[in-house]
Structure 1
Amino acid sequence: MLIRETPLFIDGPRGPLEALYLDVADARGAVLICHPNPVQGGTMLNKVVSTLQRTARDAGYVTLRFNYRGVGQSAGSHDMGAGEVDDAEAVAAWLREQHPELPLVLMGFSFGGFVATSLAGRLEAKGVELQQLFMIAPAVMRLTEQFPLPERARLTIIQPDSDEVVAPQLVYDWSDALSRPHELLKVAECGHFFHGKLTDLKDLLLPRLSN
């Protein structure tokens, strides 16, 4: 039986946010996925985002992905910073209302890695406990002091070693400077969009979601 995501709109700070939601029976947790840079064409239908969604589904998680303000049918216009984190916070609140009993996992790809990480720090500061945070080829250069990092959620960074968008060494140096425990996984011979490597990405995610 094919399980399809349900299209819906969630109230955001600048109006309705377009989203795709998948509920599953006996879920082990809920995953919120943040997409890449909207200015460069990033949407919730990006193939890496779709891989993250399918992997979380296969691991037994409820999933929710969404378009930031000004993307697809979402209201508003790009902010390229705190505004997208505000959008993600609104969507996370909706997801937590639907499943208050489930642990929350955040995933973000590229610019979405910045959004998910910033949201994780914001939620922890408000007393929300997160199970895990996955940063995929993350735009770490955007993580300034304005966006405090999470301290308690389990953290996994997955970085392509031939990334042509986010310099791999920038991510490696950022990882080296982190004082908190985390896992850095390097994907060999892989570009930013995981061309030909989406199966490798899934293989890295699945066991870490199943723990």
Structure 2
Amino acid sequence: MPEIIFNGPEGRLEGRYSHARQPNAPIALILHPHPKQGGTMNNKVVYTLYHTFARRGFSVMRFNFRGVGRSQGVFDNGQGELSDAASALDWMQALNTNSQECWVAGFSFGAWIAMQLLMRRPEISGFVSVAPPAGSHDFTFLAPCPSSGIIVHGEKDTVVPEPAVAKLAHKLSQQKNITVDYSVIPGANHFFADHLPLLAGEVDRYLGRVVVPGPDSGPSAGQ
């Protein structure tokens, strides 16, 4: 079922879903960048993350926040988008009742929403945060950060300064009982233009190290 429509807090939400062949496969939700800056579920970084998780044997979803594409509603400055993400996770969990592991990933604004969802949903066991907007958005709610994960940033990012993200990663890595990796992609800008394969490789290596892959790492459906 590659194209899906599910109910959100303010109406129908549009998404893409790839269901893994393994019955108890882990699940992953991918969140897109700022809707007011052209962010959609078809963003190249989001698309890359989606397929990276799928190749690792996850059942994975990406979707449009309210007011984007065919998703109903209007932009809500983050609060409503967090509710949208929670509804998307509910939908995935209802379809994957035997899944033992749940991940969340996001790019830029989507990374900010993803980390808030992580704080509210104790079943989330890991995260991938790409170019989190640490210079412009408040991340102090991560106290403490409940799960391990990886933060990936572009060395040449002029939208989100690398030092701000490095500071966030360092702060999180000092917390007990979790491990937060930090990876800087040399030469990459905020959108990882010409560096998407390097981004995919970094995330794939991390997932391969911390997640036990199923016997079939390929998805059964999804684009």
Q: Superposed, which structure 2 residues align to 1:1-211 within 5 Å? A: 6-26=2-22, 28-102=25-99, 103-124=101-122, 129-140=123-134, 141-145=136-140, 147-148=141-142, 151-178=145-172, 179-180=174-175, 181-210=179-208, 211=210
On the 8 A contact 1:135/1:156 being kept in 2, the answer is yes
1:177 positional shift? 2.4
1:149 positional shift? 5.4
Instruction: Give the aligned residue type for 1:80.
Output: N
Distance 1:149 1:122, change over 3 A: farther
In 2, the alpha carbon distance for the partners of 1:149 and 1:41 equals: 31
TM-score (norm 1): 0.90
Distance 1:142 1:96, change over 3 A: same
Q: Which runs of 5+ in 2 are unaligned?
A: 211-223
1:144 positional shift? 4.6
1:150 positional shift? 6.2
Instruction: Give the aligned residue type for 1:11.
Output: N
| Partner SS for 2:121 | helix
Q: Which moved more, 1:171-180 or 1:82-91?
A: 171-180
On the 8 A contact 1:117/1:149 being kept in 2, the answer is no
1:131 positional shift? 2.2
| Partner SS for 1:165 | coil
1:95 positional shift? 0.6
Instruction: Give the aligned residue type for 2:187.
Output: E
Distance 1:45 1:150, change over 3 A: farther
In 2, the alpha carbon distance for the partners of 1:204 and 1:150 equals: 25
Q: Which moved more, 1:159-168 or 1:36-45?
A: 159-168
| Partner SS for 1:42 | coil
CA displacement, residues 156-179 of structure 1 (integer Å, 9 cap, x when unaligned): 100111102111111111222223
In 1, the alpha carbon distance for the partners of 2:78 and 2:6 equals: 20
1:91 positional shift? 0.5
Partner of 2:217: none
Partner of 2:215: none
Q: Which moved more, 1:166-175 or 1:38-47?
A: 166-175
On the 8 A contact 1:160/1:192 being kept in 2, the answer is yes
1:143 positional shift? 2.9
1:209 positional shift? 1.7
| Partner SS for 1:142 | coil
Per chain length, whose mean CA-contact separation is higher, i.e. which structure has more relative contact order (CA < 8 Å, sep 6+)?
2
On the 8 A contact 1:117/1:150 being kept in 2, the answer is no
Q: Percent identity?
A: 32
Instruction: Give the aligned residue type for 2:118.
Output: A
Instruction: Give the aligned residue type for 2:6.
Output: I
